[in-house]
Chains A and B, each alone.
Chain A
């Protein structure tokens, strides 16, 4: 059944109530009968004591948010400091027991706390569900019900579209493959049960067991991949820019660990953009290596340069490689122009001062000066300029010796973890939702293995296989409906 919208208010829901932006404060709202219990599981005093039960309804408190399952040296891991407000039914927006956790802004933190709520007894709120509960609780008058319906419909369309937008990545392909594999097994079992004289299940459980273990492994890998709760995204769109022969291809190769791009000492070797998915810790970078940006008469290379500019416009992160063994050239000035535009538009930038192993012609100060020199072109206040300047981190490296590369690596990870670096493609809510579903699918497959080990007969396997299939379907927004019947008829010759 495709329906997931629970109509009865008997469970506890949670979601990020403020927009997912770089705002100063983010609110995670928990509503439902178990809201206080969840609050008690997550809130601690400065001394690490449970403190929630001492708080009176209608008050707000300063506390620590912990992950009760993650212990370090016997102590619960502190996630953040937060202001927590407690509202007792019916004195809340939803008319239910409600806890609101105000955390410091930053997408990563908000999602981490939301994830904790989900791990500790909440279900992810459906689009518009707080408002719906408010309506059902009589909190909102009837004239607003229409608006709620519109909201649900549009939110649904939105999340469906964003879910689809996320589907281009390799993970979604993997989910589809997993589903297909599971569906095939169900269809086989069902065909054999339907037409036992034609399809035999002898020896099948052992085969299925192996397949299930394989599927569980693959799911585990997806889940591991998404430890941070950011699943199924396309990755951080990263563009490498720099003048010809600054070492862009070497950087690309360094990151991907292969000789993907052609590297020569002749300037202009990379004539088109190259793309690569690179994993750094729990961050995936979709890296585009561009042709060097310089005025050129070579037609092929010219197209490459245009593409490089375009790629930079769509990037979440720009890696600017400066060849410090040469002086600042016109080409560098062109790149500065481009960077300045992008930085003003909010794109993060890391400036890598390459070739520290060679005598330096361009210093850190030269680059900083360049930015100062260029920034005031647009009428901006000093304050803005400072902020913009801060967004361009500078790291001296040598791609030949590897110097500074560790610092570079940890810088990216740090930017990601603090939410400083965000992909425009990310939809964190569905990320968490998807993760929950992936876990459910894995659990169901484990139940199949358990049933096999207990010597249950095949028809029991398909119950849990179907659950796994359904859960994975929810990740990519595909309904189950009549898939099975279709699969049975297309793969197995049934009927007499």
Chain B
């Protein structure tokens, strides 16, 4: 490492220009702070080193929420997708989820352009090797604050806040069977010095692993043996700012094929050559993204597994072999892929590989994503133990927002579990015991009926506006939308229609049943077969709402009213506990009746509220009751 005395002053340093780093840097710069974003290679900004999707079940929700708050991911994918599909369309509105295939190169290029044209933002290539801190006076857990970062070339950037978003680059190694390289994803240079620097300031790392399948030359594949998979006829954009007309493009198809017993036999015969089963891999891998060897071993009764063959972009012939990630050596990869119908003559361009990397246990973070040990030091993305582009991006955005909040002397923006998937994700990462890379799932959200992808703007725009990432004009549109939804819902409940002959005839004509007595339009709409659109023929006012987005909200409000009400009640209960804040200076040793395990856990994680404490593993309801009484007692004593 070089040491000289060249200093550059800025407000914020963001380490890493992946999906988390980009959102963090953009948020800080847009909120008026001089920001430098460091990357190992400018050509890898917003790179998608694994699958070519943005969105998917529950991940689509995250992208919508990022957009509602003023992040970039949704806009960027709207510009660069090559196929789009609304998943679970036949299911309830809570689980509709948008998933797109991205043109990887275009996605990366478009994001780079956004960064390059962003005021207050500088892109800087170089490896950050040290985090500079100084001691701060006063008591409490946080004894240091961040003052800057040092690059490998010796230059020091002085700053007030740092966001670490190193993704999978920290001490990464890639494994293709016995062939192990000390590189980051796709052969990119890894970062090696930062781990020791973090240890020096008391931030400990652990080892996680993930993997990716092979990329093949599309010209070598026989698509006639696969099932074609097309996108939606009418595409819904991710971003609330995107004009839906601009996303009705010519889409590129994907293909579906299957593994078979022959494939599985080759895998079973060579298990001893898979680094995972040979014990070479130390890191903990994600169960939701199993390698094909994991699938074959764990689900031995399944005779086939799905394989999706997906384009990496319009400008390349490379195809992504979704469903067959592996760390087998090349010869096994060649043989195993060739047993799959359509891949008999495949030519591998890039091998499948497993990657191991350093990350932190997010239990050491506050809900604002700031470290508890060092003031002004924030973390985001895969470095926090998550997995996936969307999970990374939303953390980056929240870290960026909270850096800005801190520098402006405002309270951090903490989204609740009851109002966003982002809130669920960050709360899970920070409060729960996570032993593998964390992926978002709809089943992790307790109140998902309220957290729909269609109402992300209604839920979160106000925060984006308060923070300053959403304009007055954008926010006014949400307020207007809210008002119309309210009025139209009330109107539908008030207007009644009777069993007149023309009404009965109309209902019959649209395949519904006749009325026995007069009912409100709302009651009629709550019939499963009725939609707001076909209510028009019976509504004396002919359904005045024409904006399909608003009509959708009205329809959902009425159709699922009972369920929504039940869920709202649960949220009320939940919010009572969330609202009970635990003072930051609480001394858990003074709470005598706590069980030892709970006391240790509470001291370690220092939850911000009773609600957060109640979700921690190792804390029982009785411990929570004890804590509540203790807090009441403290309050009473202070008053006295």
Residues of A within 8 A of B (CB): 1-5, 7-8, 126-128, 132, 135-136, 142, 145-146, 148-150, 152-153, 155-157, 186, 190, 193-198, 201, 454-460, 462-463, 481-482, 484-485, 488-489, 493-496
C-alpha gap A149/B94 in the complex (Å): 41
Given contacts A135-B632, A186-B443, A198-B306, 10 further A-B contacts (CB under 8 A): A2-B615, A127-B622, A142-B636, A149-B592, A149-B626, A149-B629, A156-B620, A190-B442, A194-B442, A459-B92
Known: A193-B91, A481-B617. A455 touches B528 (CB 8 A): yes
User: Complex: how many Å from CA A128 to CA B574?
Assistant: 22
B593 adjacent to A152 (CB under 8 Å): yes
| Contacting residues, chain B, for A460 (C-beta < 8 A) | 92, 449, 560, 563
User: Which B residues touch A142, using CB under 8 A?
Assistant: 633, 636-637
B residues in contact with A481, CB < 8 Å: 617
Quick check: A193 and B88 within 8 Å, CB to CB?
Answer: yes
Q: If A459-B91, A493-B295 touch, does A145 touch B633 (CB 8 Å cutoff)?
A: yes
Q: Could you list which residues of chain B lie within 8 angstroms of chain A, going by C-beta atoms?
A: 51, 57-58, 87-88, 90-92, 94-95, 256, 286-290, 295, 298-299, 302, 305-306, 308, 322-323, 432, 441-444, 446, 448-449, 528, 560, 563, 566-567, 574, 576-577, 580, 591-595, 610, 614-615, 617, 620-626, 628-630, 632-633, 636-637
| Beta-carbon contact of B624 and A495 below 8 Å | no
| B contact residues around A4 at 8 Å (CB) | 621
Query: Which residues of the other chain, A, contact B94 by a CB distance below 8 angstroms?
Result: 459
Q: Could you tell me if B91 and A458 are in contact, using CB atoms closer than 8 angstroms?
A: yes
Q: Is the CB of A194 within 8 A of B629?
A: no
Complex: A2 Cα to B619 Cα, angstroms: 9
Chain A residue with Cβ nearest B630: A149
Are B306 and A494 closer than 8 Å at their CB atoms? no
Residues of B within 8 A of A146 (CB): 592-593
The total of Cβ contacts below 8 Å across the A-B interface reads: 147
Residue contact A196 to B87, C-beta cutoff 8 Å: yes
Is the beta-carbon distance between B91 and A149 smaller than 8 angstroms? no
Q: Which of B287, B626, B632 contacts A489 (CB 8 A)?
A: B287
For A461, the closest partner residue in chain B by CB is B92
Q: Is the CB of A484 within 8 A of B443?
A: yes
Given A150-B593, A190-B442, A493-B299, CB of A457 within 8 Å of CB of B90: yes
- Chain A residue contacts of B449, Cβ below 8 A: 460, 463
Closest to A451 in B: B563
> CA separation between A339 and B632, bound complex, in Å?
55
Query: What residue in chain A is nearest B580 (Cβ atoms)?
Result: A7
A-B complex: 6 closest residue pairs judged by Cβ atoms? A156-B622, A149-B593, A190-B443, A489-B287, A457-B91, A3-B614
> Are A153 and B622 neighbours in the complex by a CB distance under 8 Å?
yes
A152 touching B290, Cβ below 8 Å: no
Contact B567 A153 (CB under 8 A): no
In the bound complex, CA of A136 to CA of B632 (Å): 8
Q: With A142-B633, A495-B288, A496-B51 as given contacts, are A485 and B624 in contact (CB-CB < 8 Å)?
A: no
B302/A193 in contact, CB under 8 A: no
Give chain B residues whose Cβ lies under 8 Å from the Cβ of A459. 88, 91-92, 94-95, 442, 448
A495 with B630: CB separation less than 8 A: no
Instruction: List residues of chain A with CB within 8 A of the CB of B630.
Output: 145, 149
Given contact pairs A148-B629, A194-B443, A457 touches B92 in the complex (Cβ within 8 A): yes
Check B577 against A3 for contact (C-beta < 8 Å): yes
Chain B residue contacts of A488, Cβ below 8 A: 441, 443
- Contact, CB under 8 Å: B620 / A2: yes
Judge whether A5 and B625 touch: CB under 8 Å. Answer: yes
Some 12 contacts from A to B, beta carbons below 8 A apart, are: A7-B628, A145-B632, A148-B629, A149-B593, A152-B622, A152-B629, A153-B595, A153-B622, A153-B623, A456-B92, A485-B443, A495-B290
Question: Measured between C-beta atoms, what is the minimum distance from B3 to chain A in Å?
Answer: 46
Find out whether the CB atom of B614 lies under 8 angstroms from the CB atom of A152: no
The reply to whether B442 and A1 form a contact with Cβ atoms under 8 Å apart is no
Q: How far is the CB of B40 from chain A (nearest CB, A)?
A: 27
